[in-house]
Amino acid sequence: MTLEEEILALKAERKAVILAHNYTRGEVQDIADFTGDSLELSRKAAECRAPVIAFCGVRFMAETAKILSPGAIVLHPAPNAGCPMADMADAGAVRAWRAGHPGVVMVAYVNTTAATKTAVDICCTSGNAERVIASIPADREIMFLPDANLGANLSRKLGRRMLLWQGCCPTHNALDPARIEKARAAHPGAVVMIHPECPVATVEAADVALSTGGMLKYARESDAKSFIVATEEGILHRLRRENPGKEFFPVEPPLRCPNMKKLTLENLRDSLRDMAPRIELDAETIRLARAPIDRMLAI
C-alpha cells in the first residue's frame, strides 16, 4: 500500500474528515477533503458532523476546530506546529492590556491561542477583518491583536484608529518593498497579490491585499494571466492547479512558514492510525473562546 492508500483506508475506518490550510505541503492538500483559508476552515469545522477531524495546519487552527466542533476528536498530526504570532499574545498580558481601557472592543485575529480568545470580544481572519471592524460602532475604541501589520493595514484602509498589539508573523513581516519591485521587474505586467500580514509599505507596493482564500477567488475571476504571489509559497499549489491557463510567480526568495511544513503525509498517517496527538481543551475554555468566534461567524 502507498502512504496515500494507507491514509485513505484509515480515514474511512475512523470516519474522519481531513482539513488542510492553503499553506500546507501540496501532497497534504491533495489528500485533504477540504483545503482553505482560516475563515473557510472555521466554517467547515463548525458544520462538520464527522466524529474525527484530522487537522493539517498550525495549532491555533486545530484549536479553533475543536472549539467549534467540541464533540469531535480533533487530531493535530504535528503537535509542535505552532504559530509564533499567536504565541506573541499571552492571555494574561492581553487581559492586563485591556484593563486600562474600559469600554474598549477587543478584536483578535484568529491567530491567537484558545486561552487568549477567552479574553477578547470578537475574532476576525484576514478574509473578514474589514467587515468585522466595520461592524463596530464608530464611537467605540478598538484594541486589535496580535498582528500589528494586519491592524495597521486595516486602520489605513478603513480610516479607523485602533490600538495595536505589537505582534507579527515572522514569515510575512520579513517581506520588504524591494522584493516586490524585484519581482515586478522579473515579471512585467503581473498583478501583485499580497497578504495583509505584510508591513504597510510592502502592501502599498503591491496591487491587491487578500487572504489566501481571497487570492484564489481573485485569480480565478481576474482577466489577468500572470500573478506575483506575495505570501507563503504553499498557496502556489492550488493557484496553479485551479488555473492551468495562468502563471503564478513567488517573490524571491519565496516566503516559507516552517510550522505549516511540519504537517506531512507520514504524521497524518500516524495520527489516524494512533488516534493521537489530539487537541484537548477544557469545557470552560471552549465555552469562553467560542463566543468571539461565533460573533465573527455571525457577521
In the bound state with ligand 13P, the residue whose beta carbon lies nearer, of 14 and 237, is 237
Task: Classify residue 163 by burial, with Cβ atoms within 10 Å: 0-12, 13-18, 19+.
Answer: middle
181-187-191-195 Cα dihedral, nearest 10 degrees: -50
> Between 125 and 285, whose beta carbon lies closer to ligand 13P?
125
Mapping DSSP to helix (H, G, I), strand (E, B) and coil, where does residue 165 land?
A: coil
In the list ligand SF4, ligand 13P, none, the entry touching 212 (Cβ below 5 to 8 angstroms by class) is ligand 13P
Residue ranges that bind ligand SF4, judged by CB under 6 A: 58, 83-85, 111, 169, 171-172, 197, 232, 257, 259-260
Report the partner that residue 259 touches, choosing among ligand SF4, ligand 13P, none (CB closer than 5 to 8 A by kind): ligand SF4
- Joined together, the cell numbers standing for residue 226 give 500572470
Give the residues lining the site for ligand 13P (CB under 6 A).
22, 37-39, 83, 111, 125-127, 169, 197, 211-212
Grid cell 458544520 in the structure block, residue: 47
Measured from the CB of residue 214, what is the shortest distance to ligand 13P in angstroms? 7
* Residue 15 main-chain phi, psi, to 5 deg: 55, 45
Are 211 and 37 contacting, i.e. CB atoms less than 8 angstroms apart?
yes
Choose between 53 and 260: whose C-beta lies nearer to ligand SF4: 260
Least separation, in Å, of the C-beta of 81 and ligand SF4? 8
Q: How far is the CB of 110 from ligand SF4 (least distance, A)?
A: 10
Candidates 45, 89, 94; CA nearest to 70 is: 45
* Residue 22 binds which entry of ligand 13P, ligand SF4, none, CB below 5-8 Å type-dependent: ligand 13P
Rounded alpha-carbon distances, angstroms, from residue 256 to 90, 192, 265, 279: 24, 18, 19, 25
* CB closer to ligand SF4 out of 69 and 111: 111
User: Minimum distance from CB of 212 to ligand SF4 (Å)?
Assistant: 9
Q: Which does 126 bind (CB under 5 to 8 A by kind): ligand 13P, ligand SF4, none?
A: ligand 13P
Q: Which three cell numbers stand for residue 15?
A: 470516519
